Structure 1
Amino acid sequence: VAIDGLLLRKRWSRAIVDIAPLLLITAAGMVVARVAQTVAVFQHVPLWQRPLIVGDSLTFYLGKLAWPATLSPDYGRTPTVALADPWVYVRWLVPAAIAAALLVWHRRVPWLAAAFALFVIGVAPVSGIATFQMQAISTVTDHYLYFSVLGLAVALTWVVSRWPRQWVTATACALLAALAARSFVQTGIWRDAFALFEGTIRAHPRSTMARLNLVVCYLTKLTPEPEVAARYADEAYAIAPDDIIVLINYGVTRMAAGELDKAPAAFERAWQNAKSLDAAPKLLSDITKSAFETFRATTYHDEVVKWAERRLELEPGDANALVALGDARQAIAATRPTTGTTTGAPAPGPASRRSPAAHR
């Protein structure tokens, strides 16, 4: 629509009619994505504050386009973080001023108007005007800008065609070469999951997302390293001790850390936090699954019973939960005549090797 209306000079009504089928498909996809995601794991953003988040996001992306020095899938710029910065009340002026200027002069510089429109339209659905799941980690992230980079390409094309001089062409070529080199360097960080998330921590030292994914990486690699996974879970817990996903991973890795006695409290806290947020059933189900599978390889039979029963309330047909519940009840019955207790020291072998860590 932006290209048809601003560059090809079609009537706006005609441009919209021409693309109507794609708009309907896109709208359907947006509805499905909205239904499939839960946004209950982070603080609700009032409607009046959302334009501030949008302005903050657009200004952030413009800055990254101008100077793409430190790139990361996680910048930790959640709505709470953005709104805590007093500058959020003026950052929106940057994209607003650009939009106002191009609105006035769009007939003189239609290519620049189209370029900025493409930039904004490409990232608008995930700029903060509507809440979405990734905002629990960061509203802004590199991969949301992929389509919007088309706007930069259109602007650069216009500059080269508008001033066809050697120095302009040479400058454009140098800029493209620099961006290509930056992209090549970035591919080294994306070569595998370990490099990606370790690089994310270097770019954003307080990233819990990167640490939680490294927990999963080290638990599920060909030769698991539960001790390393536990270290990353400890770091994430130190940063965000009330985060639900952090608490799940912290509980899962307690055997490797030699602190299994801390796992019951971690899982229970995750459960209570999730319930207080009215979280989606899938998140509650993930908590119960991680909990009973963690305790299943230990003598914490009461914990297995509690979490397996909660799991079956959410997933009545879960065969693993049924088996775990039966085994735990048998173990409790067998120990009562001699010990009179159902809990104790953990059995040998790391539970985390058997239990997939919940991750973002």
Structure 2
Amino acid sequence: MRQGEQMEHVLDFRNVDKGSIASVGGKNASLGEMIKAGIRVPPGFAVTTQSYLSYITESGIKDNIFAILAEMNPEEVDSVNAASEKIQELMKQVEIPQDIKGAIEQAYDRLCRECETKAAPVAVRSSATAEDLPTASFAGQQDTYLWIEGKDNVLEKVRDCWASLFTPRAISYRVKNNFPHEKVLISVGVQRMANSKAAGVMFTLNPTDGDRSKVVIEGSWGLGETVVSGTVTPDKFVIDKVIMEISERTISRKHIQCIYNPDGGGTIDTDVSEDMQNQCCLEDREIKELVRMAKKIEAHYGRPMDIEWAIDKDIPFPDNIFIVQARPETVWSQKSSGPKIGKKSGYQLLMEQAMKRIKIP
């Protein structure tokens, strides 16, 4: 944790980087790192781990949380579920301290001014301190909330993200990987949503065989959650990094898209119109711009990367192509040879790693 970061309740993404993991977690630190490297990232801010720590300490629930975890039998599903339920209930009863609440409200107001809107739609994502590190993929262990608008809703989702550190899945994952519960803190990222016409994931190697000379892009209509969660079979493109040639192009039937819900807010899954289901979701120029960005991210980190991207329908090309997350690829990077781990392909393992819980308000 950097000097000066310890007492900060919120930090703009532009003011964080890989040296800020203790304050903002892996996911948020990566966003700041990419901004400094000249990658196009939607603006936003991180609610720091110090805010989370103050929240559980000042309210007096910290000791209760760890007492519940100490009494839990990690081998029994019912025991883990019961412990999780007790902790979640505790956290929902506790108000966010006024100074932290005020800092989050001010940061959201600044973001709204920057985006020239009264209530900027944001993604509210957890970012744990043991997450998105090269040797341990915690991706998807906590919650994500999409298209959240207004200060009160943002505050509510920040608290929900804090509580998601103690879902049964997150508790079990830490036990299995020998991460002490008290050592894993949580930050929350609040990031402007791209109004995506298409979105998806890309890898700076071929996840089917580990070939580092390729970039593989997968995408579908709407927000990227349908790709990440496996709801649709996405379009797939394999591109040679050096000559920038598309060597494989697989267009799938994309029948569902995740989009903004104009009626109730948040997001909804809707049917894709018949004429668009079999249309390619990306233009060639967009594919090449994504590859250019992927190569830049990989060169900056010096390792293969797993990247989430979005193309905003309201902004002209190429300024509409955004990177919303990037993490080290953790399957092939730790593997010496051979296309299989157990009975699962590298691709299946990568997609399992990318899976995360999506909360639709």
Q: TM-score, normalised by structure 1?
A: 0.21
Q: Higher helix proportion, which one?
A: 1
Mark the structure with the bigger radius of gyration.
1
Q: TM-score, normalised by structure 2?
A: 0.21
> Which structure has more RCO (C-alpha within 8 Å, separation ≥ 6)?
2
